[in-house]
Structure 1
């Protein structure tokens, strides 16, 4: 969700009563602080800030510092992958909550040891980069400890979430569904492709590894994934990254944002298996309201028409 999950989307999701996430990705300290401040100015609600330790590298310490210095309220740090212990300790000491996304039960135990308030078990159903090689239900079956386990991967409707809760999850992170919302910074053609896609139109590949090597990723199929052999890493597009205009070689991990120009269909259009349920682009608030209505209907059906209780826990992913 790198450049897709910006302040506008994060604030809109939080205002809807879910938990929006703004992604720092490879932002420097000043840019990280600006993203936090911008999001805070757009909503009075709690929101999450996402970091990716293995991509941020030496920037991570400064990104966490920018969050701590800029936050005007208790927030939630959403870490994609295990967070180094010193950074986890800084976040917790400052009174913020910590959510850590993992791809194995073993890493979930490590996250618990870091003091995480919750862990996210990411299955291979998810769009974007993968932290493991198992599906959600297999991961849930292997995880039987505190803290609460959320899931990420193919949760697009309220009925999907009910299925996940019945399998043992406490809530879900949703990414692909929010790519097509009005506040998303995704390129229009990327959104349109998601709205046309079915489950057979996604594939797990390693062909978008420039800038983020070593992680398989689920994307929409296209010329790059379907070529019998890897295509040359020639220039295919231009995009805006961290305030500057940057070239995009074929095979780059960069997702197509609204500023991208060129052969966008050959860029990394991340998509989870839940894309098959997406057919309408809506504002984030309308999507969350629809999600809640679907959840209520599915729960009522399960209970034989009895009134349902509290709504589900749902947030945007900040990968």
Structure 2
């Protein structure tokens, strides 16, 4: 059982665990299931238009009475971000956690706070952690290079956590990157984190919308299964990313000029070019192994596709019958 910091509630969850927002694979079903299990489930907006964003929030809310999160990516959403945020806040029927990938624009945190909601900012360096805290973030997620997906920095998570804590950043911090076991969660808590943010662990949740072949590849992953590359930059340039190794990542030259799959997004059937940042979902047909299969170094410890509630229980070391425990919160 993890030793949870006895701190005041900020995220409004029982357990020291946050499910990362991963566009394409973390929809309302997964977010609601994680929330019902006592952790913070997160629905991902990615590039969705405001109407779709609001619908995702409403669909999540119907399936859980708990607090949940909404993930936004300013550098990808671009000019759509203000409308995304407005639609989410208008659709909210409870306090939400707006989970922001990277430093947000100056207007975002005050706008969310004025509406009565909480802001979690993901960062990849101690300097960005200090800036986000100074800008008013309620909680920070410190992303280490072990993490699957797009990277915000280049430090191991334990090193980044120690540096941020040494600088005295005055808000709760979560460790993120390569976390698949309860003993890892407990170790980060002992080191001073208020909880952990996990992504790959929930790609293999039964409620996720990741393609079955993608999930199976994570289950079958060995110690050397992932690599950091820049091969999947179409649609999200400028960020290196950790993915499962494939013919695309290991080729001498980046493959280009061909389509590898078809997928459906908000009812539209779209071709997927080789090098696209899009993940393979249950709607995807084609050469799944040639797509961006984001996965962290902890993939080697994944043994099966499981319901989200079982993943939460495994990561926290708590049985479903455990009594409520302290919430992720502010510094004592």
Structure 1 length as normaliser, TM-score?
0.92
* Number of the residue aligned with 1:193: 217
Which one has more relative contact order, counting CA pairs under 8 Å at least 6 apart? 2
Q: Return closer, same or farther for 1:291/1:137 CA change in 2, 3 Å cut-off.
A: closer
CA distance in 1, matches of 2:189, 2:316: 14
For residues 286-305 of structure 1, the aligned pairs below 5 Å read 286-293=310-317
Q: Would the aligned equivalents of 2:263 and 2:284 in 1 still touch at CA under 8 Å? A: yes
Structural mapping, 1:182-261, within 5 Å = 182-261=206-285
Structure 1 or 2: more helix by fraction = 1
Report the equivalent of 2:72.
51
Counterpart-to-counterpart distance in 2, 1:126 and 1:272: 4
Residue 182 of structure 2 aligns with which residue? 158
Which of 34, 38, 49 is residue 59 of structure 2 equivalent to? 38
Q: Distance in 1 between matches of 2:197 and 2:299?
A: 14
Name the counterpart of 1:126. Answer: 147
Distance (whole Å) between structure 2 residues aligned to residue 151 and residue 234 of structure 1: 38
In the TM superposition, what whole-angstrom CA distance separates every residue of 1:120-171 from its partner, at most 9, and x where no partner exists? 1100000000000111122112113210111110111111101111222111
Q: How does 1:259-270 map to 2 (within 5 A)?
A: 259-270=283-294
- Alpha-carbon deviations, 1:51-109, whole Å to 9, x = none? 00000000100010011100001110000011112111110111100000000111111
Q: Which residue of 2 aligns with 1:316?
A: none
The answer on whether the counterparts of 2:185 and 2:315 sit within 8 Å (CA) in structure 1 is: no
Provide structure 1 residue ranges, at least 5 long, that are not aligned to the other structure: 296-307, 314-319
CA distance in 1 between partners of 2:278 and 2:195 (Å) = 28
| Unmatched runs of 5 consecutive residues or more in structure 2 | 1-21
Separation of aligned partners in 2, 1:116 and 1:70: 22
Equivalents in 1 of 2:261, 2:87: separation in Å?
A: 31
Residues 234 and 250, structure 1, Cα contact 8 Å, conserved in 2? yes
Conserved? CA contact 1:292–1:311, under 8 Å: no
- Aligned-pair distance for 1:294? 6.8
Report the aligned-residue RMSD. Answer: 1.8
- CA deviation after TM superposition for structure 1 residue 266, in Å: 0.2
Q: Which runs of 4+ in 1 moved over 2 A?
A: 290-295, 308-313
